[in-house]
Amino acid sequence: MNGHGRRLMVGALAAGFLAAGTLSACSGPPRADGGDAPSDRTLTVYAAASLTSTFEQIAADFEAEHDGVSVELSFAGSSDLVAQLQQGAPADVFASADAANMDKLAADGLLAGTPADFAANTLMIAVPPGNPAGVASLADLAAEDLNLVVCAPEVPCGAATERVERAGGVSFSPVSEEQSVTDVLNKVITGEADAGLVYVTDVRAAGDQVEGIEFPESGDVVNVYPVSALGGSTQPELAQEFVEAVLSPDGQKVLSDAGFAAP
Amino acid sequence: MIPRWVAGVAAVGALLVVLPLAALAARVDWPNFWTLISSESSVAALLLSLRTSAVSTLLCLVVGIPLALVLARARFLGINLLRSLVLVPLVLPPVVGGIALLYTFGRRGLLGESLEVAGIQIAFSTTAVVLAQTFVALPFLVISLEGALRTAGTRYDVVAATLGARPTTVLLRVTLPLVWPGLLSGTVLSFARCLGEFGATITFAGSLQGVTRTLPLEIYLQRETDPDAAVALSLVLVAVAVLVIGFTRRSRSAL
C-alpha cells in the first residue's frame, strides 16, 4: 500500500470510530418514546423461565382487563435477565426465581418500591417413565452407578440442590451439573439421565414425559419468587397494577394450578 | 488501488469485530485478573478445552483428509449431495448438532443402545465432548482442504504416477505437500472451532468440572455468579484464539 492509501485507511478508520461514537451517544437514554397515548401502551415484563406458562396466562388476563394495553413478556434465566436490566434494558416489571437475583437489582437501585413474594417452589426427583433405575428416595440419588443430573451450584436450582443435600445428609456425585433446570429436565426426558432434581412445577409441566418422586427433605428448601416494578419504567402505575395482578387471587390461582405453592 | 468507499466499508467491518473485543478488554478487572483466571475450576476448564480440542483436531485430520480427497477427486453419483451433507454442520446451529448427536450416541440413540449393551457410555464423558467438537469442526478442515486440492489440480499427481509412483506415494510426497498451506489453515480453523464449541457440548455432553465443562461452558456458568471471572476467562479464550491464528499466519508466510 502506498502512503496515500495508508492515510486513506487511517482516515476511514477515524471516521468509523466517530460514527460509532455518535451512534452510542444516540442510544444513551434507555427509552426515548414514552408511549403517551393511553389507547396503545406496551408493558414489558421480564420473568424467570420457570414462570413461562403461568405468566403467559396472567398477561393474557391482564390484557383482557386493560383496554389498549399489550404485555410483552421476556423469559430467561433470572441472572440473565438481571444482567440485561443492569445494562439498561427497558422493562417495567421483573419477576425473579429467587431472592438473590432480585437483591442484585435492589443493590443497584433499579427497583421501584419493595419486591413482593408471590410464589414458592420446591424440588422434586424426576425420572424417565417407568423409573428404570428404581429410584425411591433422596438417598438413592447418592448411588455410585446412577446417572444423576442436577443444576450447577451457581444457578438457583443448584443452590437449592446443595441445601437439599445438606438437609438429607447425603452427598451426590452427579454425572453432569447443568446450567438450568430445563437442561436437567431434558436430560431426564431423553433418558440420558436416570434421575434429576427439578422443581415440582417442571415435573407438572412435563406431563407424562417424566415421573415425579416426592421426598420429605424438599420441605426444608423452599425457593421463593419475588416480583417488583422497575425504577426505569415510564408507566409506573401500570407496572404496579401488573404486580398486583400477580398477587391477586386470580393470579395466585393460575400459579397454584401450575404447581406453585403460596410464598 | 482500493476505491475510497471500499476502505470506508472495510473500516466499519473491522470495527464491528474489533470494538466488542476492545469493550471486553476494557471490562476486565485487571488488578484481579490473575486470581480470576487461576481458580481451580478455570484451570481445569482451560486444560480440558486444550486437551479435547487437540484430540478433536487430530480426529478431524484423520477422517477429514481422506474425505476432502474423495470430494475433490472422486466422481460418483451423489457426490454433490455428500458434499452438501458433510458441510451441513457449518450452517447448523450447534445446539441442533448436539440434539442430533444425542439421538445417535445417547443411551437411547441409534448407536447408543448397542454401545450401552457393550458397556460403553458416551453421554456425560469426555468422549462426548470430543465427538461434539469433531462434528462441528470437521467441515472447516474439509472445505479448506478441498478448495486447496482443486486449486492445485492433478497435473503433478499425474506426472508422478506416470513416473511409476504408487497412489499412496503420490498422495504423501506430491499431493499433500502441494496443499500444505490449505491443510494448515484448515487445521487451525478446526482447532479454533473446537476451542469455541459450546452449543453441541452443552446439549450432548453435559457439564461437569474436569470431565465435560470446557472453557466456553465455564464462562457461561461463571456469568451466573461471577461476571468478572467470566469476562477474564473470555479474554483468555480470545488471547488463545489470536495466538493460534497469529502462529499460522507466521508459519504460512515463512513458506
Q: Which helix (H) or strand (E) holds A72?
A: strand A69-76
pLDDT, tens digit, 9 for 90 and up, residues A64-79: 999 999 999 999 888 8
Question: With a CB-CB cutoff of 8 Å, which residues 55-114 of chain B face chain A?
Answer: 102, 106-108
> According to the model, what pLDDT value does residue A16 have?
45
Inter-chain touch B223–A79, beta carbons under 8 Å: yes
pLDDT above 50 (res A36): no
Query: Looking at per-residue confidence, does B114 or A2 come out higher?
Result: B114
Q: How far, in Å, CA of A183 to CA of B145, rounded?
A: 37
Chain B contact set for A146 (CB, 8 A):
none
pLDDT above 60 (res A35): no
pLDDT above 90 (res A25): no
* Distance to chain B for A191, nearest Cα, Å: 7
Inter-chain touch B208–A20, beta carbons under 8 Å: no
Q: Where does residue B119 rank: exposed (0-12), middle (13-18), buried (19+ CB within 10 A)?
A: exposed
Three cell numbers at A125?
Answer: 426427583
**CA distances to A54, A147, B62, B63 from B68, in Å:** 51, 39, 11, 9
Chain A contact set for B208 (CB, 8 A):
174-177
Q: How far, in Å, CA of B50 to CA of B184, rounded?
A: 18
β-bridge partners, A121 = A223
**CA distances to B22, B81, B89, B131, B143 from B85, in Å:** 37, 6, 8, 17, 12
Band of residue B251 on the pLDDT scale cut at 50, 70, 90: low
Mean of per-residue pLDDT scores for chain B:
91
Point out the residue among B102, B124, B225 whose CB comes nearest to the CB of A190: B102
Inter-chain touch A152–B207, beta carbons under 8 Å: yes
pLDDT above 70 (res A126): yes
pLDDT, tens digit, 9 for 90 and up, residues A43-60: 999 999 889 999 999 999
Inter-chain touch A5–B1, beta carbons under 8 Å: yes
Q: Find all residues with CB under 8 Å of A221, minimum gap 6, and list them.
A: A122, A123, A160, A163, A164, A167
**CA distances to A71, A95, A145, A250 from A74, in Å:** 10, 10, 39, 21
| Interface contacts A/B by beta carbons within 8 Å | 85
Three cell numbers at B173?
Answer: 510426497
Mutant choice from A4, A27, A86, A176 vs B, greatest count of B C-beta within 10 A: A176
Point out the residue among A13, A147, A179 whose CB comes nearest to the CB of B207: A179
pLDDT above 80 (res A11): no
